Amino acid sequence: MAVAGPMPSIVGALSCQKDSYLQALETEVVSCNEYTPPKTPQQSGKSKTKKSTDPEKGLSDIASKTWLIEFADSVIFPEGGGQPTDHGFITALDNESNEPIPVTNIQRHGLRCVHFSPKPLEPGTPVRQTINFTRRWDHMQQHTGQHLLSAIMDGMDLPTLGWSMGVAGEMNYVELPRKPTDDELQSIQSKCNEMIRENLPITVETPEGKGSSSLPEDYDKEKGVVRFIKIGDMDYNACCGTHLKQTSHVALILLHHTQSIRGTNCRLFFTAGDRAIKLAAESINGLRTIAVSLSSSATPADVASNVNRLTDQVSDARRKEKKMLAEIAKFESERLTTYLETHDSAFSYRATDGLDFINSVVSEIREVAKERVVVLCSGEVKTSGSIVIFGKPELVERMAVKVKEVVSTAKGGGKGEKWQGKVTEWKKGEVEQLKKAKN
* CB 164 within 8 Å of CB 259: no
* CB 218 within 8 Å of CB 240: no
Whether 274 shows a pLDDT value over 50: the answer reads yes
The CATH number that applies at residue 177 is 3.30.980.10
Lowest mean pLDDT across 12-26, 61-75, 309-323, 396-410: 61-75
Q: Say what the pTM is.
A: 0.74
Sheet of 345-350: strands edge to edge? Answer: 345-350, 373-378, 385-391, 418-423, 410-413
- Please name which of 220, 223, 225, 253 lies closest in space to residue 238, comparing C-alpha atoms: 225
Residue 281's domain comprises 136-200+246-294
Are 171 and 269 contained in the same domain?
A: yes
| 266 found inside a domain | yes
- Please name which of 329, 347, 344 lies closest in space to residue 406, comparing C-alpha atoms: 347
| Domain end residue (candidates: 96, 117, 132) | 132
Domain count of the fold of the chain: 3
Q: How far apart are CA 66 and CA 58, in angstroms?
A: 14
Are 97 and 179 contained in the same domain?
A: no
Phi, psi (deg, nearest 5) at residue 84? -65, 165
| Domain end residue (candidates: 132, 162, 183) | 132
Are 258 and 159 contained in the same domain?
A: yes
Model confidence at 333, pLDDT cuts 50, 70, 90, reads very high
Number of H helices and E strands in the chain, helices first, is 8, 20
Are 434 and 375 contained in the same domain?
A: yes
Are 118 and 142 contained in the same domain?
A: no
Are 332 and 344 contained in the same domain?
A: yes
Q: Packing angle between helix 393-406 and helix 430-437, nearest 10 degrees?
A: 150
| Domain end residue (candidates: 78, 113, 132) | 132
Are 128 and 141 contained in the same domain?
A: no
Q: How far apart are CA 71 and CA 88, in angstroms?
A: 14
Are 286 and 144 contained in the same domain?
A: yes
Q: Distances from the Cα of 411 to the Cαs of 72, 370, 415, 418, 425, in angstroms?
A: 65, 24, 14, 14, 11
User: For 177-186, which contacts have Cβ atoms below 8 Å and span 24 or more sequence positions?
Assistant: 177/264, 177/265, 177/266, 178/264, 178/265, 178/266, 179/258, 179/260, 179/264, 179/266, 180/153, 180/156, 180/258, 180/266, 180/268, 184/156, 184/158, 185/255, 185/258, 185/268
Are 84 and 153 contained in the same domain?
A: no
Are 26 and 76 contained in the same domain?
A: yes
Are 150 and 166 contained in the same domain?
A: yes
The CATH number that applies at residue 356 is 3.10.310.40
pLDDT per residue over 299-322, tens digit each? 989 999 999 999 999 999 999 998
| 319 found inside a domain | no
Mean pLDDT of the chain: 89
| 386 found inside a domain | yes
Model confidence at 41, pLDDT cuts 50, 70, 90, reads low
